[in-house]
Structure formats: C-alpha cells, structure tokens
Amino acid sequence: AAGEEPLLRGIFEIGKRSCDVVLSARRLRWSPILPESPTGGTGRGVSAQEETIEMKDVFSVKLKRRRSVGQKKGGTLLGITVFKCLNKEKNKLTDYAVHLNNLSEDHCHLWFRHLKEILNGFQNRPKSLKVFVNPSSHRREATRVYYDQVAPLFKLADIKTDVTVTEYEGHALSVLKECELQAFDGVVCVGGDGSVSEVAHGLLLKAQIDAGKDTDYIPTPVRAPVPLGVIPAGETKRYCYIL
C-alpha cells in the first residue's frame, strides 16, 4: 500500500527493551527483539507484540539530550522523543511521549531528519497562529490554561504564535477587523463561550470586509479564510462540545 514502504529500519531501546523499529511514511512500528530459543529460532519481529504509531497522530519530534544544570545547548545525545496525540476520553485528547533511545549520533540524526520530513509533509498543519486569551473568563482560568498547558504544546510543535490578551469586551473584534489574516494559518480563542462568539464574529466580519461586502446586510456571507480553534477556559464549554 502507498506509504507503507519502509524508509528506515534500525534498533532502539524503547521502555528498557531493545526493539526492531521500522519507519514508513504512514506509521512508526516496533517490536521487541527476543533472545534465541533453545531450538535456535529467534523472536525478532513477533507480530503479537508489535506496537504502532500513526504518523498523522504525531505532532512533534525532538532530539533527546542529557544536560548538566544550567546548560541550555548541546549535551549528550540519548535518542529521539516522539510526541503524539492520544484519545483520553470522548472529546478529549492528551499528549503522549515515546522515547527511542540510541547513543549513536549518526543513527539518531538520520532518523530525526526522516521523521521531520514526514511531519513537514502534512500540508494542513499550522505553522503560525493568532491567539486571543480572555483573562476575565471563569475564575480567571484562561491565562493560566494557555501559558501552562497550551503554549508549551505550540512551542513543542514549532508553531509560532502572536498572542493578544484581551483587555475589554470587543477587543478581539477590533483587533480582527484590522488583522492581516493571510499571515496566519488559524485563529485560536482561549476563553468562554462569549469569547468564542466574539472571535467567530470578528473572523466572519473581517472576511466580509476583505470581500467588499456590505456588512449591514449579508444574506450569503463569505467563508472565513482561516479556521477557528477553540480552547475552553470559561464557566461553560458548550461551544467546544458542539463544535
């Protein structure tokens, strides 16, 4: 099948076990290398124990290094870490890391380059996002949610962000009316349902303005040029579940 042809095959330690690892354009799969049996057979590649990651679920790949206290660059290369999205429960995802340990610099850099090439080949992934954070959302959670939980994931995925922390009702709307949306791959709202409504309104209003539409009467509105991402941090999360 297309995308199933092996691109690389090598040995890494995964979960304290030596594993035979195979990379194709569609998936990363591995199985433990078992010792020879008394009859001389080998357990290498036993399908019952094979584990798989779909590359479409991977959002980041990083080289794993051991650094001394205070060291920010360099360090001893330990291997590669693959970060993927995992279904936690209905409507919820969590991030999950798989560590591919190998002390060979050449081996790790070769695999890292191939993994990055596959991720860069997904054309629908955002590289730059406009983010609106409403600090007044329920219990003032939005700022903490964004900077503690969301921003680190964006950074991990090499996504550039332009963040506006809103200061008053209508702030996001006024920013979006003047925003050059072509500079971004999407707009993200961190807040409650009211914040989402305002940003959605702003996105659609900007699309009508750019299309030269009469914004007082729009029977057939122009589609917004970029998608809207919703990160719930308000008292109610109806919009997020509905979407």
Phi, psi of 31 (to 5 degrees): -145, 150
Whole-angstrom distance, CA of residue 145 vs CA of residue 154: 13
- What tokens were used for 128? 């730059």
- What tokens were used for 189? 């709202």
Whether the Cβ atoms of residue 157 and residue 200 lie closer than 8 Å to each other: no
67 closest CA partner among 59, 58, 77, 57: 77
Active site residues: 193
Cβ-based neighbour number of residue 130 at 10 Å: 25
Helical (H) or strand (E) element with 116: helix 105-120
